[in-house]
Amino acid sequence: MSRWAMVKKSARNPRREGSLSRERIVEASIALLDDGGEDGLTFRALSERLATGAGAIYWHVPNKGELLTAACDAIIARTMNAVAAGASPETTLRDVALGLFDAIDAHPWVGSALMRSPGQLPMVRIIERIGQQVRRLGVQEKAQWAAVGTLLNYILGVGGQNAANGQLARAQEIDRSDFLGSVATAWSALDPGDYPFTRSLADKLRSHDDREDFLAGLDLILSGIRNALPD
Amino acid sequence: MSRWAMVKKSARNPRREGSLSRERIVEASIALLDDGGEDGLTFRALSERLATGAGAIYWHVPNKGELLTAACDAIIARTMNAVAAGASPETTLRDVALGLFDAIDAHPWVGSALMRSPGQLPMVRIIERIGQQVRRLGVQEKAQWAAVGTLLNYILGVGGQNAANGQLARAQEIDRSDFLGSVATAWSALDPGDYPFTRSLADKLRSHDDREDFLAGLDLILSGIRNALPD
DNA sequence: ACCTGAACACCGTTCAAGT
DNA sequence: ACCTGAACACCGTTCAAGT
């Protein structure tokens, strides 16, 4: 017997290649969510993909909700780490927001996972990033929470809507822009007496650019924050 | 046989008292959602409450998603109709927003139902109300969508968070403020090097007033909109 | 310590059959 | 036209039993 074969598996060593771990489960969950949408993640699909039983997954993860939050957190952590440091507070704030927008665009399920886990780690990462820039901006102590909360809730609102649009489009087996087109058509058919404003928006809805609109709203809020700055 | 007994049930007449209708189903759904939260609504609970079979409900309603949207719409319609007319655009806008906040506070499931049905009737009612006031405010045509979208997404974000807080609190069988307290405690335990801002917010979270914070954010956005007004 | 997989208690939705 | 309720194809979660 060679000395290699005699090396004991230390408790500290990485597990054997095929074995389960929280990370492997989270990684597989992300893959499932990315190509099956919000309800692509089931313990049955997961145990098949990981070639194991449902019970094994429960040994590493307490329940489906926490698994979804963990998957969401993996995406958010990457996204926040990718934001360049050193730029002006306003630029950084815009980078954080656009990073989140793009992440949710690429993984629509992140939008609803984020919505459903208030105060949890993914949200904390975002609050921290935004909060530090709001401080650098010179917002007074007691106005900081309002500023951060407003930015956060706006970003969550947009993210949630993007997630919902993606989910509904998927259910009808069309793509997101076709779904928005069908909404636009419905809006055009609204009673002109009751819904003049919404009707007038139908064309806008067909031709708009989500990302640009998102930025416009962000700038509106930033201008409100700047407005309230001391001196 | 009296003449009364001979009166035929005309097709136009209201149905017999106990019979099913879309409205009765929606009304029962609201009751179920109000006291069981987001997953209090099931076809089994509904058919028991209405003393009928699941299939009967499907004759009046296409699926669960549309039933949820219809229940949400009933609440939103009442809420929008309750907003007083005739006040200044800013006051009306605040009334609309506060009305929605209070409605979601009273029926947390409305927050997530709203999030999950973009472009549908409940949302259209809100967009129309907000849009008309934004017009009256004098916002330029091409800036109107950004203004409405920003307000809408902010309101949806807050509503969605309130719904999620309520849902998580319910799952742990505690009330919402106890849930926020537990989040605050978790925030206090965060690494001071990594999360200085979030940590500093923990106390604020314990003592804050959701409704006041909501209004503060709304005013921030309104000030941004005012900023961009022509002349 | 970690994994298996059958079993439990649910879901939403469909559909043959009734009135 | 409207309703019944059993049946279908799923879920998340648990748990005795294995290694």
What are the structural domain ranges in chain B? 10-62, 75-227
| A147-186: pLDDT as tens digits | 999 999 999 999 999 999 999 999 999 999 999 999 999 9
Write the CA distances from B101 to A144, B108, B185, B200, integer angstroms. Answer: 22, 10, 26, 26
Question: pLDDT (tens digit, 9 = 90+) per residue, B14-41?
Answer: 344 568 999 999 999 999 999 999 999 9
The CATH superfamily of A10-62 is Homeodomain-like (1.10.10.60)
| Residue of least CA–C1' distance to D14 | A55
> Which residues of chain A make contact with B176, given a CB cutoff of 8 A?
none
* Residue pLDDT, tens place only, A28-85: 999 999 999 999 999 999 999 999 999 999 999 999 999 999 999 999 999 999 999 9
pLDDT over 90 (residue B183):
yes
Q: Using a CB-CB distance cutoff of 8 angstroms, which residues of chain B are in contact with residue A156? A: 157, 160-161
CB of B80 closer than 8 Å to CB of B123 = no
Give the count of beta carbons closer than 10 Å to the beta carbon of residue B44: 8
Could you give the dihedral angle defined by the CA atoms of residues A33, A37, A38 and A43, in that order, rounded to the nearest 10 degrees?
-50
Confidence of residue A1 (pLDDT cuts 50, 70, 90): very low
Contact B146 A222 (CB under 8 A): no
A217–B149: do the CB atoms touch at under 8 Å? Answer: yes
What is the rounded distance in angstroms from the CA atom of residue B132 to the CA atom of residue A228? 27
pLDDT of amino acid A19: 86
Q: Give the CA angle between residues A110, B148, A125 to the nearest 5°.
A: 30
pTM above 0.85, yes or no: yes
Tell me how long chain A is.
Answer: 231
For chain B, what is the mean pLDDT? 92
Please determine whether the domains at A10-62 and A75-227 fall in the same fold group of CATH: no
Contact B131, B144 (CB under 8 A): yes
Spell out the residues 6+ positions from residue A175 whose beta carbon is closer than 8 angstroms to its own: A169
B9 pLDDT above the threshold of 50: no
| Pairwise CB contact (< 8 Å): A146 & B190 | no
Which residues of chain B are within 8 Å of residue A131 when distances are taken between CB atoms? Answer: 197-198, 201
B201 near B187, Cβ under 8 Å?
A: yes
List pLDDT tens digits, range B58-90: 999 999 999 999 999 999 999 999 999 999 999
Q: Thinking of the domain B75-227, which architecture would CATH place it in?
A: Orthogonal Bundle (1.10)
pLDDT of residue B112: 97
> Is pLDDT at B12 greater than 80 in this prediction?
no
Q: List the single best residue of A81, A115, A130 to mutate versus B (max B Cβ within 10 A).
A: A115
